[in-house]
Amino acid sequence: MSDELLRIEDLSIDLPIGGEPRTVVSELSLAIGAGEAVGMVGESGSGKSMTAKAIIGLLPRGARTSGKILFDGTDVLGLRGAELRRYRAQSVAMVFQDPRAAINPVRTIDDFMTEALRDVRGMAAPAARAKAVELLTEVSIGDPERVLTNYPHELSGGMLQRVMIAAMVAQEPRLLLADEPTTALDVTTQAEVITILARLREQHGMALLFITHDLDLAGAICDRTAVMYAGGIVEEQGSAEINEHPRHPYSAALLRCRPSLSQQGGRLAAIEGQPVAAFEAPAGCRFAPRCEYAQDACRVAVPALRPVGGAMVACIRAEELGPLTLLDDTPVAINHATPRQPAEETTPESAATQALVTVTDLRKEFALRGGGRFAAVEGLSFTVKAGGSLAIVGESGAGKSTVARMLMGLERPTNGTIMAMGEDRSGPAHGRATRLRRASQIQMVFQDPYLSLDPRQRVGEVLDESLRLHKRMTRDERRTRVAELLEVIGMSARPAASVPAQLSGGQRQRVAIARALAAEPRLIILDEAVSALDVSMQAQILNLLTDIRERTGVAYILISHDLGVVNYLTEAIIVMRRGEVVEAGDTGTIVTAPTEPYTQRLLACVPRPGWTPPARQPLALSPTAPSA
């Protein structure tokens, strides 16, 4: 390729982890042409972020590298001091995952936007400011003059990420590295940012290395996609082709295991086991332990990335397997998640007893600083039947979490009633018995399993504590029950003595679910409970949740912004926007045929095969309502 911009040759990166050098990227090779967009897709530990950091010279202290990263023929791994600074200032720029962390919180947007222009380019302040205004306009920021005087905390996440992109493009780099730039954003904001990124790349002729865990997202913006697993590339192909005809079993498995807008209920084709880092992987093909096509020969040597049928594939069986189909062989049971109760039982009388939770005209106000009140939730009514499931969806600031907190009794409604298990829960719980009864009936699983488990509590203790609180059991009964619960969450092989630090994100979330189950609740509130997990872990947890519901008849309220997950797990849905209900009804109907423009917009923004972000509409303005 004559117009090759970046060439990575046999890059290996060792990081000091636990005092020893551990390989996180292993003999990776990749080329990016001038103006080309390449997607790098993988789960945690795959080494995708470290590869990007190596390109821009930001590897953590103590990292050791071998191989080459040639930018325009110069090995950038050897650059130091002024040379490295010139390369960073003129050739590459990087957009980080979390703009709130990546933009200095104590300096104004003006400072942030113009710093490099003034300091590195030697532009005069007025010229730098003019350029900042121009670029903020390019990223569709309406009032750039005002935004420049703001501090980062005064802007929404979506706005900040646009500021970040504008600041990076201002340096006119030839290669833009984007490390999961939309992971922390709402779907609608994600669609906007993707659109902006694609447009700016074209206008400024930049090459793009787009790092993501979402193959569809990469497909929407990239020419080529490289799939990474455990520190190496396992497949590289045109972005559109890989999403239709993946050739590596891992790429295919990633595509298969995601809940889609067309699948409701049943089982997801989850990938067994955990994603691993290069240094944790066994000899031979690193994916072999989780691969359904693995043979003994796979475990001999790491397969080289080689051309197979127009793609680059690191699998010894690539020719034999050919392009893999996305429809899995495992039969998908259609809609067996729908009504658990036989139809004949739904007489009016039993319908009333069946209603587990009835919320009527719920309203929650918060006092605003500087006077005034703000309604986080307004006029919300819904019913969840025993064993039923309800999804509450919406962008940040929609009031979803406030609803969950009110159901849990963590917030008191300003108006309206919450009837749950035949008890009015609108008021405070008086006395220990009431508090415990309420808590045991409704349990919650939080988004971040790294924060929701006590790091010092062993898994067995976590479950035992919940049993001691909510169940009258002898020590022996509790021990038996803990073992049962570990069995339910598929962790019976793991000793109950492990602490959270020894567990992966997916395993921690399993423990959090088991803790909720220990109380034998009638309802579990899942607050973005699978959002923070890797794609393959998410599928496992969703399957687990389906199994649990079948076994115990527990009802779910799922709070999520991921409509694929919502469609898979729930029968009823409420779409909320700025505290109010936009649309409510049967999940399948609303997901396939939404009537409200807002819901249509939300759905159009969900990445799917062959998806491109929808054109910007007035509705797409980032939510400005303060989040509760």
Residues engaged in binding another protein (CB under 8 A)? 56, 58, 85-90, 92-94, 96, 98, 101-107, 111, 115-116, 119-120, 151, 153-154, 167-168, 171, 368-369, 626-627
Angstrom CA distances, 380 to 294, 403, 567, 581, 583, stand at 51, 9, 21, 7, 11
Report, in Å, the least distance between residue 39 CB and another protein.
21
**Is the CB of 106 or the CB of 615 nearer to another protein?**
106
β-bridge partners, 374: 366
Closest by CA position to 249, among listed 176, 168, 328: 328
**Is the CB of 98 or the CB of 596 nearer to another protein?**
98
Q: Beta-carbon neighbour count of residue 225 at 10 Å?
A: 26
Report, in Å, the least distance between residue 135 CB and another protein.
14
Report, in Å, the least distance between residue 522 CB and another protein.
34
**Is the CB of 204 or the CB of 437 nearer to another protein?**
204
Q: What is the CA radius of gyration of the chain?
A: 26
Report, in Å, the least distance between residue 153 CB and another protein.
5
- The string over 47-86, giving b where at least 16 C-beta atoms fall within 10 Å of a residue's C-beta and e elsewhere, is bbbbbbbbbbbebeeebebebbbbbeeeebbebeeeeeee
**Is the CB of 92 or the CB of 313 nearer to another protein?**
92
Cβ within 8 Å of residue 443, ≥6 positions away: 515, 516, 517, 519, 521, 523, 524, 525
Report, in Å, the least distance between residue 61 CB and another protein.
9
Closest by CA position to 311, among listed 399, 204, 226: 226
Report, in Å, the least distance between residue 78 CB and another protein.
17
**Is the CB of 306 or the CB of 373 nearer to another protein?**
373
- Residue 198 corresponds to which amino acid? A
Report, in Å, the least distance between residue 261 CB and another protein.
33
**Is the CB of 136 or the CB of 167 nearer to another protein?**
167
**Segments of 109-194 assigned E as strands:** 175-179
- Residue found by looking up tokens 């029968």 in the block: 571
Q: Is the dihedral of CA 467, 468, 472, 473 positive or negative?
A: positive
Is residue 257 within 8 Å of 537, Cβ to Cβ? Answer: no
Is residue 207 within 8 Å of 5, Cβ to Cβ? Answer: yes
Report, in Å, the least distance between residue 109 CB and another protein.
11
Report, in Å, the least distance between residue 47 CB and another protein.
18
Give, as one character, the DSSP assignment of residue 28.
E
Report, in Å, the least distance between residue 368 CB and another protein.
8
Report, in Å, the least distance between residue 341 CB and another protein.
43
Report, in Å, the least distance between residue 93 CB and another protein.
7
**Is the CB of 19 or the CB of 105 nearer to another protein?**
105
Residue 392: phi and psi, rounded to 5, are -115, 115
* Distance separating alpha carbons of residues 233 and 28, to the nearest angstrom: 6
- Residue 295 corresponds to which amino acid? Q
Helices 459-470 and 475-488: crossing angle in degrees, nearest 10, is 120
**Is the CB of 109 or the CB of 519 nearer to another protein?**
109
**Is the CB of 131 or the CB of 438 nearer to another protein?**
131
- Residue found by looking up tokens 């779907």 in the block: 187
Report, in Å, the least distance between residue 122 CB and another protein.
12
**Is the CB of 377 or the CB of 563 nearer to another protein?**
377
**Is the CB of 348 or the CB of 372 nearer to another protein?**
372
* Distance separating alpha carbons of residues 157 and 186, to the nearest angstrom: 9
Element (H, E) at 37: strand 37-41
Is residue 590 within 8 Å of 599, Cβ to Cβ? Answer: yes
Is residue 210 within 8 Å of 26, Cβ to Cβ? Answer: no
**Is the CB of 83 or the CB of 487 nearer to another protein?**
83
Element (H, E) at 208: strand 207-212
**Is the CB of 5 or the CB of 56 nearer to another protein?**
56
Report, in Å, the least distance between residue 137 CB and another protein.
21
Is residue 164 within 8 Å of 95, Cβ to Cβ? Answer: yes
SS (H, E, C) 590-605: HHHCCCCHHHHHHHHC
Closest by CA position to 364, among listed 308, 410, 421, 303: 410
Report, in Å, the least distance between residue 533 CB and another protein.
22
**Is the CB of 101 or the CB of 410 nearer to another protein?**
101
C-alpha 613, offset from chain centre? 18
* Distance separating alpha carbons of residues 463 and 570, to the nearest angstrom: 27
* Distance separating alpha carbons of residues 330 and 65, to the nearest angstrom: 43
**Is the CB of 87 or the CB of 279 nearer to another protein?**
87
168, with CB counted inside 10 A (0-12, 13-18, 19+), is: buried
